[in-house]
Structure 1
Amino acid sequence: MEENMTHASPDAPPVREAVTVQGMSIAYVSDDRYNAVVNDVSFSLQQSDRLAIVGESGSGKTTLAMAVAGLLPSRIAKIDCSAASIAGKNVDMSASAAVIPTRRQGVSMIFQDAMTSLDPVASIGHQFRTVLGSLTSQSRSQIRKEAVQWLDKVGIHEPERVIKLHSYEMSGGMRQRVMIALALCSKPLLLIADEPTSALDASVSRRVMDLILELTAELGTALIIITHDIDLAREYTNKSLVLYHGHVQDFCDTAQFGDENRSPYTRSLLACVPRLNSYDLDALPTLDHNAALTKEA
């Protein structure tokens, strides 16, 4: 049992498993060859968990998330997974997705660029109808009412007006809030947020992250955040998974992220975070590739 785990009160609702993945490997198909990008990744999250997947560009973070969400079509990727479950129900993560894949039931995703992720030719209201209409038998007016409530919940001013707009008529912060509302209105068991603040300024980024945490906690939704921002991971998550060239370097409590017994790659990654005394560095720390993959000190 982890040291920082606390005992729940007898009256507290039981904490359910959100997602478990064991031995997932992913390869992209190119010219009849398989190029491995994720290798034997395993992790497990409870409803209350918030996981940060961190690592440099090209480490396999988004590929792993897309596979969990069921958004990697078989024509471009081959997925092998020993076992997986969502809410305790077994899921075949290696099952071939359609040519135009649909997200896995119980999983929602906030994509990195809200501008290109929202449909530019459909109103915000239409996009809510697409999501909610596939989940309920509510009338069009009922769906509209629920959509307005979600826009209000994510801090959109004048939601009755905004629901008629298209994505190109909104600011970057508004688009990201709409993406959050669309992702959470289905009340998923797991929300994956891929660099949710990368296109936002610092003050807006913090408000967006606070909003994501508040709403996922309210819904009992587990959260995976893909990020390059280690300080963000430390502030907003309780678990961290570090990837390097598709290999897991560390899977630990975020509070233990800076421990000396972390892998050489994780220690080097932390050493690259800009600090007030960074001007004293002649060069950023580097790492021997083979040492990182074998986790040798």
Structure 2
Amino acid sequence: MTATITTPQTTKAAAPEPDDALLTVRDLSIRYGGFTAVQDFSLTLEPGTRVAVVGESGSGKTTACMAVAGFLGPDATVEATAVRFDDTDLLARPRSAVPHRIPGVAVVFQDAMTSLDPVWTVGQQLTAVIRNNDLTTDGRRPSRRAAAARAAEWLRRVGLTDTARVLAARPYELSGGMRQRVMIAIALSGSPKLLIADEPTSALDATLSRELMQLMVALSADVGAGLLMVSHDIALCQEFTDHTVVMHRGRIVEEGPSATLAQTAVHPYTRGLVACVPTLASAALDRLPTMAAVA
């Protein structure tokens, strides 16, 4: 994992990209009119690795990752040296108001309630994905019965055991945690090479957040997918990803191995994020640490 980093202390140039990179982004900048949302964003994600992009709201992390997913509309001006996924030049894809799916890329969104179709049942939505992606050896779609059986199997894999009820339910009839599990099942049932998770646990409590992160990491490994996660929660990223990229005001300010980032952080913004994570040491404080403004 490499990234171009500009900090008040140092400038680090990106290393050469490995030949087997699953995703390569170099010098990505995104503007909306006169506003620059992302500037000089670069990263490399190798097959099977897990990368987190963290930062406060408005830092540009979701915008950068949605550019990779193909979800930016024609109102965005996108410039980059390269944006490649699995030998596909994503810069050459036309952009429109209605996004076109990138084969091999799946997304778990922040709010499953607004991401799932409120009219179709869970079974209809999950089997539609399976029938379009899980083709037989001769290139034909599986039968509806076979797809329904696969859908029930995927619900069990994400921890939903009452499969008949869940398959027949519409999204508004399920809890938030159940909907997010359904989203994970839909995303991974197509056997993607890259899973992009945009704040997948932000609407859940701490216990459910941890359970769903464990589930998503395990299942993405099972299908052989790399994971690109957008998050505010630097503590979860430290535990469940291999590498963390920190963004501030549209730029990457620091990056490093997730497990050691707290000890090796140089940029004051990264140190501030780490200091704001509640710990046993800070439990007795009258006020939790806060992050000072960083230019």
TM norm structure 1: 0.85
Show CA shifts across 1:6-41 (max 9, x none): xxxxxxxxx95321111111112xxxx331100011
Show CA shifts across 1:54-92 (max 9, x none): 101100111111111001111x312112112222x0323
Which residue of structure 1 lines up, in the alignment, with residue 114 of structure 2? 116
Question: Which has the higher mean CA deviation after the structures are superposed, 255-264 or 117-126?
Answer: 255-264
2:205 to 185, 191, 201: 201
2:231 to 199, 205, 227: 227
- Following superposition, the deviation at residue 206 of structure 1 comes to 1.4
Structure 2 unaligned runs (5+)? 3-18, 136-140
Q: Give the aligned residue type for 2:25.
A: V
Question: Which has the higher mean CA deviation after the structures are superposed, 229-238 or 123-132?
Answer: 123-132
Equivalent position SS for 2:160? coil
**Structure 1 pair 260–252 and aligned structure 2 pair: CA distance change class (3 A):** closer
Match status 1:90 vs 2:79:
no
Q: Given that residues 55 and 244 in structure 1 are in contact (C-alpha distance below 8 angstroms), is that contact kept between their aligned partners in structure 2?
A: yes
**Structure 1 pair 121–259 and aligned structure 2 pair: CA distance change class (3 A):** same
Which residue of structure 2 lines up, in the alignment, with residue 295 of structure 1? none
Equivalent position SS for 2:262? coil
Q: Given that residues 73 and 95 in structure 2 are in contact (C-alpha distance below 8 angstroms), is that contact kept between their aligned partners in structure 1?
A: yes
The whole-number CA distance in structure 2 between the counterparts of 1:173 and 1:261 is 33
**Structure 1 pair 202–282 and aligned structure 2 pair: CA distance change class (3 A):** closer
Which residue of structure 2 lines up, in the alignment, with residue 51 of structure 1? 51
Which residue of structure 2 lines up, in the alignment, with residue 81 of structure 1? 80
The whole-number CA distance in structure 2 between the counterparts of 1:283 and 1:235 is 21
Which residue of structure 2 lines up, in the alignment, with residue 292 of structure 1? none
Match status 1:255 vs 2:259:
yes
The whole-number CA distance in structure 1 between the counterparts of 2:20 and 2:163 is 34
Q: Give the aligned residue type for 2:128.
A: T
Equivalent position SS for 1:108? strand
Match status 1:285 vs 2:286:
no
- Following superposition, the deviation at residue 261 of structure 1 comes to 5.3
The whole-number CA distance in structure 2 between the counterparts of 1:35 and 1:235 is 34
Q: Given that residues 21 and 84 in structure 1 are in contact (C-alpha distance below 8 angstroms), is that contact kept between their aligned partners in structure 2?
A: yes
Q: Given that residues 268 and 287 in structure 1 are in contact (C-alpha distance below 8 angstroms), is that contact kept between their aligned partners in structure 2?
A: no
RMSD value over aligned CA atoms? Answer: 2.1
Show CA shifts across 1:208-234 (max 9, x none): 111101101111111111111111011
Q: Give the aligned residue type for 1:265.
A: Y
Structure 1 unaligned runs (5+)? 3-14, 290-297
Question: Which has the higher mean CA deviation after the structures are superposed, 123-132 or 164-173?
Answer: 123-132
Which residue of structure 1 lines up, in the alignment, with residue 24 of structure 2? 20
Q: Given that residues 28 and 78 in structure 2 are in contact (C-alpha distance below 8 angstroms), is that contact kept between their aligned partners in structure 1?
A: yes
Q: How many residues align?
A: 271
Q: Give the aligned residue type for 1:86.
A: F
Equivalent position SS for 1:47? coil
Match status 1:139 vs 2:143:
yes
Match status 1:129 vs 2:114:
no
Show CA shifts across 1:183-226 (max 9, x none): 00111111011111111122222111111011011111111111
Which residue of structure 2 lines up, in the alignment, with residue 268 of structure 1? 272
Equivalent position SS for 2:72? coil
Show CA shifts across 1:97-125 (max 9, x none): 22211232111110001111111111112
TM norm structure 2: 0.85
The whole-number CA distance in structure 1 between the counterparts of 2:286 and 2:176 is 36
Which residue of structure 2 lines up, in the alignment, with residue 41 of structure 1? 41
Which residue of structure 1 lines up, in the alignment, with residue 16 of structure 2? none
Match status 1:168 vs 2:172:
yes
Q: Give the aligned residue type for 1:177.
A: R
Q: Given that residues 37 and 246 in structure 1 are in contact (C-alpha distance below 8 angstroms), is that contact kept between their aligned partners in structure 2?
A: yes
**Structure 1 pair 260–280 and aligned structure 2 pair: CA distance change class (3 A):** farther
**Structure 1 pair 269–128 and aligned structure 2 pair: CA distance change class (3 A):** same
Q: Give the aligned residue type for 1:56.
A: E
- Following superposition, the deviation at residue 95 of structure 1 comes to 3.4
2:100 to 99, 102, 114: 102
Q: Give the aligned residue type for 2:151.
A: A
Q: Give the aligned residue type for 1:270.
A: V
Question: Which has the higher mean CA deviation after the structures are superposed, 214-223 or 273-282?
Answer: 273-282
Report percent identity of matched pairs. Answer: 42
Which residue of structure 2 lines up, in the alignment, with residue 149 of structure 1? 153
Equivalent position SS for 1:199? coil
